[in-house]
């Protein structure tokens, strides 16, 4: 798909970023919130539709590319990070976004995702997590909880689920965040932060599938539960939550994180969040704090550090090779007659 031209001197509006395609998600789907948030954010970032590409795989979330008035690649199942890696490497002047789901990214696309993260390719990756396969009508996904009864697991899933934030941190991704589709303002802020990061940035977006996994995250994201169930991560500030900040997180003597009442533990003992901490270990511990979707769950930026970015490193190697060897000749290479004896 190609982007409709926008006058190069004009500031864009949300309308400039919305395609004329009919949005075909089910009523109540959380993907609508994310689409609106991204379309609202793009003008604020000062980006241009003609310099922006959205790459997706297969799944409900992967229809995202159709609804953005940018260049887009609706690719094959799980391969969006690989295709986006090639695109970002060949065209580092473009803003490349990857839109994927828990099934697309973490099943057939698992290796592609972790390698894009470990290489630190300059991509903004939006991972929609509804803990189910929605497009193929309700099978268990890699993030479905243990015991989940679905069409593919009629006696309950016996697979241990992936936790996307933990997986990304295990791959030592430089930027990892979590948000949820019930809060458009927070989605906008997390995507803004991710795009500002030079390198691979992953944002897990907890979202809903009204048809096949209704209310999957309502216990933590419903408006009436958020104060008690969502733990905001803010750099340089103690990790605390609750309507009056009465709960907090501490690092206990046995090396584990625990949720406590601040009045009992003392504010001075609360964990102070450091998203720039070089070692991802503490961020990983935060990602494991909630054992299920009915427990207090951290949201926000878990990690934001700087390291060499892949596309810049590739460009540097190409420059070095040209300085040493000059421009190569493709025809000479093809006619070089290299042979191997087996």
What pLDDT is stored for residue 324 in this prediction? 86
Instruction: Match 């340089």 to its residue by tokens.
Output: 236
Average pLDDT over residues 190-216: 96
Asked if residues 174 and 96 have their Cβ atoms less than 8 Å apart, the reply is no
User: Strand 257-261's sheet: what is its strand order?
Assistant: 240-241, 247-251, 257-261
Does any domain span residue 296? no
- Say whether both 202 and 284 belong to one domain: no
Collapsing DSSP states into helix, strand and coil, what is residue 328?
A: coil
Asked if residues 48 and 28 have their Cβ atoms less than 8 Å apart, the reply is no
Average pLDDT over residues 206-227: 95
- Say whether both 156 and 106 belong to one domain: yes
Instruction: Match 């969502």 to its residue by tokens.
Output: 230
Question: What is the model's pTM?
Answer: 0.93
Domain extent, residue 58, equals 1-216+308-342
Q: Residue 31 class from Cβ within 10 Å (0-12 exposed, 13-18 middle, 19+ buried)?
A: buried
- Say whether both 159 and 53 belong to one domain: yes
Provide long-range contacts, Cβ within 8 A and 24+ apart, for 267-271: 267/238, 267/240, 270/238, 270/239, 270/240, 271/238, 271/239
CA distance 340 to 342: 6
CA 187, 191, 192, 193 dihedral sign is: positive
- Say whether both 46 and 179 belong to one domain: yes
Instruction: Match 């006696």 to its residue by tokens.
Output: 155
Which pLDDT band holds residue 341 (cuts at 50, 70, 90)?
Answer: confident
Does any domain span residue 313? yes
CA distance 41 to 47: 9
Element (H, E) at 202: strand 201-206
Q: Which among 280, 65, 41 has a CA at the least distance from the CA of 174?
A: 280
Does any domain span residue 64? yes
Strands (E), 50-174: 52-56, 71-74, 95-101, 124-129
Whether the predicted pLDDT of 214 surpasses 70: yes
**Distant-in-sequence, close-in-space partners of 234: CB < 8 Å, separation ≥ 6:** 273, 300
Which pLDDT band holds residue 4 (cuts at 50, 70, 90)?
Answer: low
Q: For the chain, give the mean pLDDT.
A: 94
- Say whether both 243 and 122 belong to one domain: no
In the numeric block, which tokens belong to residue 171? 């791959």
Which pLDDT band holds residue 8 (cuts at 50, 70, 90)?
Answer: low
Does any domain span residue 222? no
Asked if residues 113 and 105 have their Cβ atoms less than 8 Å apart, the reply is yes
**Distant-in-sequence, close-in-space partners of 201: CB < 8 Å, separation ≥ 6:** 123, 124, 125, 173, 174, 175, 176, 177, 193, 194, 195
In the numeric block, which tokens belong to residue 80? 């969006």
- Say whether both 166 and 255 belong to one domain: no
In the numeric block, which tokens belong to residue 155? 């006696």
Question: pLDDT digit string (tens) for 107-132?
Answer: 999 999 999 999 999 999 999 999 99
Q: Specify the number of domains making up the chain.
A: 2
Asked if residues 204 and 127 have their Cβ atoms less than 8 Å apart, the reply is yes
Q: In terms of DSSP bridges, do strands 201-206 and 240-241 run parallel, antiparallel, or are they unpaired? A: unpaired
- Say whether both 9 and 108 belong to one domain: yes
């Amino acid at each position: 798909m190609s982007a409709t031209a926008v006058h190069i001197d004009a500031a864009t509006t949300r309308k400039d970023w919305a395609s004329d395609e009919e949005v075909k998600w089910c009523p109540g789907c959380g993907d609508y919130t994310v689409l609106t948030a991204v379309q609202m954010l793009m003008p604020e970032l000062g980006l241009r539709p003609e310099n922006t590409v959205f790459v997706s795989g297969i799944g409900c979330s992967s229809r995202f590319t159709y609804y953005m008035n940018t260049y887009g690649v609706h690719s094959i199942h799980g391969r969006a990070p690989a295709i986006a890696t090639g695109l970002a490497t060949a065209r580092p002047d473009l803003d490349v976004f990857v839109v994927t789901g828990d099934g697309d990214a973490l099943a057939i696309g698992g290796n592609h995702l972790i390698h894009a993260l470990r290489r630190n390719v300059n991509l903004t990756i939006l991972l929609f997590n509804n803990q189910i396969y929605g497009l193929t009508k309700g099978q268990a996904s890699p993030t479905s909880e243990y015991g989940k009864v679905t069409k593919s697991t009629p006696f309950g899933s016996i697979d241990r689920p992936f936790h996307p934030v933990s997986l990304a941190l295990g791959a030592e991704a430089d930027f990892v965040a979590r948000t949820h589709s019930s809060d458009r303002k927070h989605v906008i802020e997390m995507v803004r932060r991710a795009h500002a990061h030079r390198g691979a940035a992953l944002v897990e977006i907890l979202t809903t599938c009204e048809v096949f996994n209704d209310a999957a995250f309502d216990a933590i994201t419903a408006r009436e539960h958020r104060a008690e169930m969502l733990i905001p991560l803010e750099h340089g500030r103690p990790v605390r939550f609750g309507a009056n900040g009465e709960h907090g997180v501490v690092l206990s003597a046995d090396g584990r994180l625990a949720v406590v009442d601040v009045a009992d533990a003392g504010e001075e003992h609360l964990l102070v969040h450091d998203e720039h901490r070089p070692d991802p270990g503490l961020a990983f511990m935060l990602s494991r704090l909630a054992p299920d979707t009915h427990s207090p769950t951290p949201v926000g930026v878990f990690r934001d550090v700087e390291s060499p970015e892949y596309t810049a490193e590739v460009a540097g190697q190409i420059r070095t090779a040209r300085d040493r060897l000059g421009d190569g000749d493709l025809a000479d290479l093809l006619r070089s007659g290299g042979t191997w004896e087996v």
